[in-house]
Amino acid sequence: MELNEMQLDGLREIANIGSGTAATALSSMLGRAVDLNVPKALALELADAVDAVGTPDADVTAVVLGVMGDLDATVVLLFDPTSAETICSLLGVDPADPEMALSALGEVGNILGSSYIGAMGQMAGLELEPSPPAAVSDMLGAIVATALAATAVDTDFALLLDSEMLVEDAECAFGVLFVPSSEGVGRLLTGLGLAEAA
Amino acid sequence: MAELMARMAEIAVSRHEADVLVALGLGSCIGIALLDRASLVAGLAHVVLPESRPGGTTPGKFADTAVPELVRRVSGLGGSASGLHAVLVGGAQMFSAGAALDIGRRNELAVKAALATAGIPVTTTLTGGNAGRTMRVHIGTGLVTCKQAGSREQTIAVRDAGRLRAAA
């Protein structure tokens, strides 16, 4: 997948709008400010893609949503153990109860993921629907590689839109990944009016 | 000690006692360790998907192309054709929803079919379930280990079980 600077800029911008909308939704859910780092648009070989996200054998809690409609994609929220605990506490859920914690994080993922792809779809003129979230605690590599596998049938490259959110005055930072299928990348670029630039 | 990584779609091989072949965080992917009862040579492939498409350039990515490539690389280092056996780890269903739902199981079936075609027996299988796994092949000792998230590393296979029993 060869993407030029203009296309990567456009993808960064749409990730920025998606995650900005998601951060606002999370902020009203938690009742405190949520900051956002400038998203990264990474076009990488599969093997490098996992390393770019984090340490493959690190313990994380992830919320995964499928995206259906005009394009296939996966949204993955990645929390380190401390951030997962913090966000549960902020929501009044006992982090020591794994079932409750996963369910609460699933709900966070549902709200963040829906607002992210809603904003993205609006900007690109695409109908996008989220599937119900699945929350899982496991190794980062196992989660990210599995999300990538579904997108990697026709290409050895992966496009990752990687945003980081930080909850103000709390030990809570987490990543939001948008991973489109190779076909989905094309649809996204077409929607943004950037398909011809390649 | 040198850790040689088999990352997504990669193959690592070695015959040096100090080396360890590693596949970190196998989810729906499958780690195929190829061990040789007659020598130190071993290989590890990190397979992502079951079936290749025409014109693919990364043989390690697909079960049907990774197995012949792994055999070629192991034989290239002096692995014997008759002493090879395989250890499989991974193929989990990580998520209860989404496109990746069935990939783990399909990967396992495709890997087993490709190994059967190559005439290589599978001696140990630690696949399925819904947890990620890290797999290591210790060239010096001939031990294959597996670690699941939140649990301890366990030895799951040896290069030559017969020899181990004879030594005991």
Residues of the domain holding A174: 5-191
> What total number of domains does chain A contain?
1
Contact B13, B73 (CB under 8 A): yes
**Per-residue model confidence as pLDDT tens digits over B54-96:** 877 899 999 999 999 999 999 999 999 899 999 999 999 998 7
**Per-residue model confidence as pLDDT tens digits over B6-44:** 999 999 999 999 999 999 999 999 999 999 999 999 999
Q: Which of B126, B133, B167 is nearest to B153 (CA)?
A: B133
Q: Which residue among A133, A137, A146 sits closest to B100, beta carbon to beta carbon?
A: A146
Measured in residues, chain B has a length of: 168
ipTM exceeding 0.85, yes/no: yes
Asked whether the beta carbons of residue B98 and residue A134 sit closer than 8 angstroms, the reply is yes
A133 touching chain B per CB within 8 A: yes
Asked whether the beta carbons of residue B99 and residue A150 sit closer than 8 angstroms, the reply is yes
Asked whether the beta carbons of residue B94 and residue A139 sit closer than 8 angstroms, the reply is no
Instruction: Look at A143 and B55; give whichever has higher pLDDT.
Output: A143
Tokens standing for B118?
């190559």
**Per-residue model confidence as pLDDT tens digits over A57-102:** 999 999 999 999 999 999 999 999 999 999 999 999 999 999 999 9
Residue A198 lies in a domain: no
Residue A196 lies in a domain: no
The alpha carbon of residue A155 is apart from the nearest alpha carbon of chain B, in Å, by: 8
- Domains in chain B with CATH codes: 2-167 (3.30.1330.200)
The alpha carbon of residue B116 is apart from the nearest alpha carbon of chain A, in Å, by: 24
CATH number at residue A74: 3.40.1550.10
The alpha carbon of residue A157 is apart from the nearest alpha carbon of chain B, in Å, by: 11
Residue A62 lies in a domain: yes
Q: Read off the amino acid at residue B119.
A: G
